[in-house]
Amino acid sequence: MEKVRLWRGSESRAAICTGIGIGFYGNSETSDGVSQLSSALLHANHTLSTIDHLVLETVERLGEAVRTELTTLEEVLEPRTELVAAARGARRQAEAAAQQLQGLAFWQGVPLSPLQVAENVSFVEEYRWLAYVLLLLLELLVCLFTLLGLAKQSKWLVIVMTVMSLLVLVLSWGSMGLEAATAVGLSDFCSNPDPYVLNLTQEETGLSSDILSYYLLCNRAVSNPFQQRLTLSQRALANIHSQLLGLEREAVPQFPSAQKPLLSLEETLNVTEGNFHQLVALLHCRSLHKVKPLPSQFLLPRGASVWTHRTTSSFSLDPCHCA
């Protein structure tokens, strides 16, 4: 009879140890998921920072070109009113392009920082992971020492481990209560994550629902909210390019001193167009979803006047996979 009890006790403890092993696996999977979330937030922060930097650099270059090279060019071409009019047209187009490009830095001034969120998430996860590892190790030690006490038929060891089991049980119930409270608090997120994240992000950032829907959902049903600005910017840059070519053809033979500001303007325009094409790629929702890069045919070629591409990818914010 004593052997039967010992055997049954050993079986139950072995089953408990198996459950503890499953707990270690679940804790590791949770940590991996949080790490992926932190990586995604860091990637989003890098993308948004790059957009702000490119917009600032491009607007500054265009403003510098308007203040220096175009002003110098107008002074050189003053004897020919039609050439001065062409230079002033290029000035207006540069100012229009700069005005449209400024509106592309949509995250500038937003109080919510993806970098700060990633750091906070990583900080909390580090202590959560450590706490669960310690709890699981304590449970494992209690289980093993209980098995040892049963094997050696040591009453004092079994009694001590029984008391420890009660302590571990209280801690486990506490952790389960915390998990249950978290699950209840995030029930809307688990049942319908897209609207939940959309509303929460809009509340924290103050951005329009069109922008947030485009970047959070990234599907065919939502168009790029910056499509009009991209179109107008591209048209303005294309017009500047054609006007500079016309001035180079007409003005340089008569005014050799106009060649230097024209070359400087062309260099500025080339850099601006390069930055613009990078902005087109970064402003696409795929850049924040870390999917395959856009094919070259989706980027605006020089001289194109219409931006018509829409994403064909589909994305669903459902990391908890709730039933």
3-state secondary structure 111-151: CCCHHHHHHHHHHHHHHHHHHHHHHHHHHHHHHHHHHHHHH
Distances in Å between the alpha carbon of 273 and those of 58, 61, 213, 217? 9, 11, 28, 29
Q: What is the sign, positive or negative, of the torsion defined by CA atoms of 205, 209, 214, 219?
A: positive
Nearest to 298 by CA among 316, 317, 284: 284
pLDDT band at 7 (very low <50, low <70, confident <90, very high): low
Residue 163's pLDDT is what?
Answer: 87
User: Contact at 8 Å (CB) between 305 and 210?
Assistant: no
pLDDT at 42 over 60: yes
The domain segmentation of the chain, as residue ranges, is 2-298
Residue 57's pLDDT is what?
Answer: 93
Q: In terms of C-beta density within 10 A (0-12 exposed, 13-18 middle, 19 or more buried), how is residue 276 classed?
A: buried
pTM (2 d.p.): 0.75
Distance CA 276, CA 107 (A): 17
User: Contact at 8 Å (CB) between 146 and 165?
Assistant: yes
* Higher pLDDT, residue 231 or 18: 231
Average model confidence (pLDDT) across the chain: 81
pLDDT band at 299 (very low <50, low <70, confident <90, very high): very low
Cβ-Cβ contacts under 8 Å for 166 (sequence gap 6 or more):
none
Question: What are the tens digits of pLDDT across the range 141-168?
Answer: 888 887 777 777 777 887 888 888 888 8
pLDDT band at 100 (very low <50, low <70, confident <90, very high): very high
Distance CA 224, CA 279 (A): 13
User: Contact at 8 Å (CB) between 284 and 294?
Assistant: yes
Interval 241-253 mean pLDDT: 88
Interval 186-205 mean pLDDT: 82
pLDDT at 60 over 90: yes
Q: Which amino acid is at 277?
A: H
